[in-house]
Amino acid sequence: MSHTAHIPSHRKPRRSATKQALRAGVAGGVLSTLAVAAAAGTATAAEPVTETIEMPTLTTDLSTQIAQSAEATQQTADSYELRAEQDAAAVKAAKQAKEDQAQAEKKAEAKAKAEAAAKKKAEEERASRSAERTTLSAAGSGSSASTAEAPAPASGSVGSVISFLKAQLGDAYVMGASGPNAWDCSSLVQAAFKQAGVDLPRVSQDQSVSGTPVSLSNVQVGDILYWGGAGSAYHVGVYIGNGQYLDAANPGKGVVIQDLSGYPADGAVRVL
C-alpha cells in the first residue's frame, strides 16, 4: 500500500457526462435566446414606426344625421329643378297667351268687318225691297179685285215672287195640288217664294210662323198674310199692295186677286 493512499486527493472530481451535457444545453439555450433577442431587436430597429389611428365608430344618431343631410340636399336640388321647370312653363304660357291674344284680336277685327259688310248689304237690300214694293203698289193701283191686269214686275226677289203669282192667275184651286195649273193656297205661296230662293214649309200652319211677324197696318208688298192663328192658320195669301192680296182662294174662284177689306187677314209675316 502506498504511503499516500490515505491522504485525500487535491484533484477536482470529474464531472459526470450527464451534468456536462445539461450544462452545455443550458448554455446553448441561453446563447440561442440571446441570439433571437438580438435578431428581434435588429428587426425592430429596422422596421419603421407606424402610428395607428383609431377610426371613430358611426353611432345610430350620426348615421341618422348624415342621412337627413343627404335627404335635405336632394330636396334642395329637386326644389331648384322644379322651380326651373315652373319658370320655363311660365315663359311658354306667357308667349302662348300673347299669340292667342293677337289671333283673337285678328279674328275680332275680321268679324267686325264682316258684320259691317253684312249690315251694309242688308240695308241696301232693304232699301231695294222698299223701292220695289212702292213700284209694285203704284203699278197695281186702280185695278179691280178680280179683273186687274198684272203690272210689270219689279226686279229683285220680291218682284220675282209677285211675277210668279200673277202668272198663275186663273189657275184652278184643288186641295193638295202643287201646280203647274192647279194649286191650293199654301202650295201656291211655297212655289212663289221658291222663285226667290226661299224654301217655305208646305202647309199654312207652318208658313204663318216662318217669317218675322208684322202688324197688318204695316204690311208691305211680298208679305205673307194668314187667316186663323199664328201656327194654326187655315189659309194664306201674299200682299201685292194697294190693299190687295193674291191667293188660291177656293174651288169656285181659283187663283185670284182680292181686296183685304172684303176678307181681312188675321196676321202677317215678312220673309223677304
Our measurement of the distance from residue 240's CA atom to the centroid of its chain's CA atoms, rounded to an integer in Å, reads: 51
Q: What is the CATH number of the domain that holds 221?
A: 3.90.1720.10
Asked if the structure places residue 137 within a domain, the reply is yes
Residue 3 lies in a domain: no
Residue whose entry in the numeric block shows the C-alpha cell 174662284: 253
Rg value, the chain, Cα:
65
Question: What would the mean pLDDT of 161-168 be, rounded to a whole number?
Answer: 97
Domain contains 64: no
pLDDT tops 70 at residue 248: yes
Q: CA separation (Å) from 48 to 33, 52, 55, 259?
A: 24, 12, 21, 140
Compute the mean pLDDT over every residue in the chain, rounded to the nearest whole number: 77
- Evaluate whether residue 54 is within a structural domain: no
Residue 61 lies in a domain: no
Residue-number span of the structural domain to which 103 is assigned: 82-272
Q: Which residues contact 175 (CB under 8 A, 6 or more apart)?
A: 184, 251
* Structural domain includes residue 141: yes
Determine if residue 142 is left, alpha or beta; phi over 0 gives left, psi from -120 to 50 gives alpha, anything else beta.
Answer: left
pLDDT of 20-38, one tens digit each?
A: 544 555 445 544 544 444 5
Note the pLDDT of residue 65: 79
Q: Give percent of the chain above pLDDT 90.
A: 43
| pLDDT per position as a tens digit, 205-215 | 999 999 999 99
Q: Is the pLDDT of residue 229 over 90?
A: yes
List, in sequence order, every residue forming a beta bridge with 224; answer none if it has no partner.
Answer: 238, 269
Count structural domains, the chain. Answer: 1
- Which pLDDT tens digit goes with each residue over 48-92? 555 555 555 556 777 787 778 888 888 888 888 888 888 888 888
Is the model's pLDDT at 14 over the cut of 80? no
Round to whole Å and give the CA distance between 67 and 58.
12
pLDDT score, position 98: 86
> What does the pLDDT read at residue 220?
96
> What does the pLDDT average to over 148-171?
76
For position 184, what pLDDT does the model report? 97
State the pLDDT at residue 12.
Answer: 52
Backbone dihedral angles phi then psi of residue 206, each to the nearest 5 degrees: -75, -35
Instruction: Note the helical H segments in the chain.
Output: 17-46, 60-140, 157-167, 185-194, 204-207
Query: pTM for this structure?
Result: 0.49
Asked if pLDDT for residue 230 goes beyond 80, the answer is: yes
- Over residues 100-122, the mean pLDDT reads 77
Band (pLDDT 50/70/90 cuts) for residue 240 is very high
Average pLDDT value for residue range 168-192: 97
Q: What is the pLDDT of residue 135?
A: 59
| CA 228/CA 263 separation, integer angstroms | 12
Q: Is residue 59 part of a domain?
A: no
Cβ(233)–Cβ(207) below 8 Å: yes
- Is residue 160 domain-resident? yes
